[in-house]
Amino acid sequence: MNFLEERILKDGIVKDGNVLKVDSFLNHQMDIALFNEIGKEFKKRFKGNKINKILTIEASGIGIACIVAQHFDVPVVFAKKAKSINLEGEMYVAEVESFTHNCKNQVIVAQKFLGEKDHVLIIDDFLANGCALQGLIQIVQSAKATVEGIGIAVEKGFQPGGRIIRNLGIQLESLAIVERMDSTTGEIEFRVQEG
Ligand code: 5GP
């Protein structure tokens, strides 16, 4: 079991509706030493990839992305969410359905921060149905930039996002993949990963 799986077992709480609450260390209160370990691990897993930018989505991806970026020594761009936007200037826009909030958002990135020369590592805290990631991939494609890989802290392997993204042929690295969880017993089971 790796450091993140251990922490999820210790402090994660399984809620009804397939929601894993990790707000004591990941996406409300943030354990920066843990984020640093996450950064180190992604740096190892994407060692051979030429990465010059990290892309994430507000809000909960930003903290992790910033610490990961220190390990790659590259800037972070975060896609902004907007319910309805008056487009000003040149923007890339994608539509994203939110798993946790059950609504649709547009996500936007200013064109000046992403272009065809960029080799992008996408970082996010969770992968569930894959809508957030598909929106970010669409934005990278609109910019004619390259997705070098995707780093996720927690993937819920029983939801379809991971399969959808891997089928696109993108290198997707999830540090913890929850195979099964039960809100009545609180049990959490992880997928056994190689390495
Ligand atoms: P997706 O677009 O893959 O369905 O959902 C990804 C987003 O939903 C993540 O960025 C995360 O903010 C949120 N999310 C999805 N599932 C969970 C969950 O079980 N727990 C928490 N805390 N956030 C989740």
pLDDT tens column, 143-194: 999 999 999 999 999 999 999 999 999 999 999 999 999 999 999 999 999 7
Structure confidence at residue 86 (pLDDT): 61
Ligand 1 touching residue 64 (CB < 6 A): no
> Is 67 part of a structural domain of the chain?
yes
What is the rounded average pLDDT of the residues 38-63? 97
Please name which of 157, 113, 150, 108 lies closest in space to residue 133, comparing C-alpha atoms.
150
> Is 140 part of a structural domain of the chain?
yes
Residue 123, phi-psi category: left (phi > 0), alpha (psi -120 to 50), beta (remainder): beta
What is the rounded average pLDDT of the residues 42-57? 97
| CATH number of the domain residue 48 falls in | 3.40.50.2020
CA of 128 to the centre of ligand 1 (A): 6
User: Cα–Cα–Cα angle for 39, 48, 171, nearest 5°?
Assistant: 75
Angstrom CA distances, 97 to 2, 77, 130, 164, stand at: 31, 20, 9, 15
pLDDT tens column, 66-89: 999 999 999 999 999 986 556 566
Give the pTM.
Answer: 0.96
Ligand 1 touching residue 100 (CB < 6 A): yes
> Is 63 part of a structural domain of the chain?
yes
From 100, 172, 188, the mutation candidate for ligand 1 (largest count of ligand atoms within 8 A of CB) is 100
Distance CA(144)–CA(137), nearest Å, equals: 11
Query: What domain count does the chain have?
Result: 1
Looking from the CA of residue 23, the nearest atom of ligand 1 is 22
- Per the annotation, binding residues for xanthine are 20, 27, 156
Residue 37's SS3 state is helix
From 99, 158, 183, the mutation candidate for ligand 1 (largest count of ligand atoms within 8 A of CB) is 99
Ligand 1 touching residue 99 (CB < 6 A): yes
> Is 195 part of a structural domain of the chain?
no
Structure confidence at residue 155 (pLDDT): 98
Distance CA(139)–CA(180), nearest Å, equals: 31
- Residue 63 CA from chain centroid, whole number: 11
Cβ atoms of residues 104 and 97 within 8 Å:
yes
Helix pair angle (32-45, 3-11), 10° resolution: 150
pLDDT tens column, 12-45: 999 999 999 999 999 999 999 999 999 999 999 9
Q: Which domain holds residue 34?
A: 3-190
pLDDT tens column, 107-150: 999 999 999 999 999 999 999 999 999 999 999 999 999 999 99
H or E, element range at 61:
helix 61-72
> Is 111 part of a structural domain of the chain?
yes
